[in-house]
Amino acid sequence: MVANFISLGPTSFMTHILAIDTSTDACSVALSANGTVTGLFELAAKSHTQRLLPMVEELLHQCHCGLENLDAIAFGRGPGSFTGLRIGLGVVQGLAFARRLPVIPVSTLAAMAAGYWRRNPDAAVRPVLTSLDARMNEVYWSVYRACSGQQTPEQVIEEQVISPASAASAMNDWEEAFDGIGQGWHYDELRSLDPHTIEQACYPAAEDIARLAVEAFTRGEAVPVQEARPVYLRDTVSWKKRTRIRS
């Protein structure tokens, strides 16, 4: 599946930010140039290493932009597939180090929320429960609310890795209508929350990462590439027990 999209964002900063995301089965790249965001998006399960740099090259060519024109590189810093996050950050490390550029880590869950509202502006009145399947009967989970006047959503519940049942029970007292987005919504425990709308086929996309990154960049949140790290959420401690061979 290949989808090209061009949209005019509300920002018009004189900045060029390249954004990439490989945190799920989707592989996407986008360029925010003076407020215009151009993106390429593919479903590329197991072929991110083959697709990512060719997509970057194609995008830059299409936008008549060279690496030397970039001001920063943004990336989906997680949560998501561990390997996917490292492929994305690896490419960002190479590009940003080579071009001496700062980088902007963007939450994949926040990007999903922003993307959902971009496609469904009327839904922005409701909070959105974002969920990616973390396997082992857990989901990456967070809740966002749209903020007027900016693309970056407000985080209502902190990003976490949690069982669908625990995520659902924490939401039981929630009285307001809400939407559910992302692959994690295949779990029955989550579906029993009965959201206003469920959009399961919702992926983080570089286009939205680019839009959030422009705001983060103007807030001064770019960091040296040497400091950029994936956000795995599931840390070493949780699987130490399973992999430990000797006590």
Partner 1 sequence: MRVLGIETSCDETGIAVYDSDKGLLGHALYSQIDVHAEYGGVVPELASRDHVRKILPLIEEVMAAAGTEPEALDGIAYTAGPGLIGALMVGASVGRALAYGWNIPALGVHHMEGHLLAPMLEPEPPAFPFVALLVSGGHTQLVEVLGIGEYTLLGESLDDAVGEAFDKAAKMLDLDYPGGPQIAKLAQQGRAGRFTFPRPMVDRPGLDFSFSGLKTHTLNTVAEHAGPDGLPDQQTCADIALAFESAVVSTLVIKCRRALEQTGLRTLVIAGGVSANVHLRSELTSALTKIGAGVFYARHEFCTDNGAMIAYAGCQRLLAGQSEPLGVTVRARWPLDSLPECKVNK
Residues lying near partner 1 in the complex (CB under 8 A) are found at 49-54, 56-57, 67, 82-83, 86-87, 89-99, 225-226, 229-230, 232, 236, 239, 243-246
CB of 143 to partner 1, least distance (A): 28
Q: Tell me the C-alpha to C-alpha distance, in Å, between residue 119 and each of 115, 116, 208, 223, 232.
A: 6, 5, 11, 30, 27
- If the CB atoms of residues 101 and 202 are measured against partner 1, the closer one turns out to be 101
CB of 59 to partner 1, least distance (A): 12
Beta-bridge partner residues of 129? 143, 180
CB of 21 to partner 1, least distance (A): 14
Residue 26, CA distances (Å) to 14, 20, 68, 153, 160 in order: 29, 11, 27, 22, 21
d(CA 21, CA 76): 5
Shortest distance, position 66 Cβ to partner 1, whole Å: 10
* Cβ-based nearer residue to partner 1, 63 or 113: 63
* Least distance from partner 1 to the Cβ atom of residue 84, Å: 10
Q: Looking at beta carbons only, is 95 or 167 nearer to partner 1?
A: 95
Cβ distance 16 to 70 under 8 Å?
Answer: yes
What token pair was written down for 185? 């919504």
Closer to partner 1 at the Cβ: 22 or 183? 22
The region that residue 105 occupies, defined by phi over 0 for left and psi between -120 and 50 for alpha, beta otherwise, is beta
Please say whether the dihedral angle defined by the alpha carbons of residues 216, 117, 23 and 161, taken in this order, is positive or negative.
positive
Q: Would you state the structure tokens that stand for residue 31, as one six-digit string? A: 């360029």
Of 184, 228, 241, 200, the C-alpha closest to 72 is 228
Closest separation in Å from C-beta 111 to partner 1: 20
* Half-sphere exposure of residue 1: CA atoms within 13 angstroms, side-chain side: 10
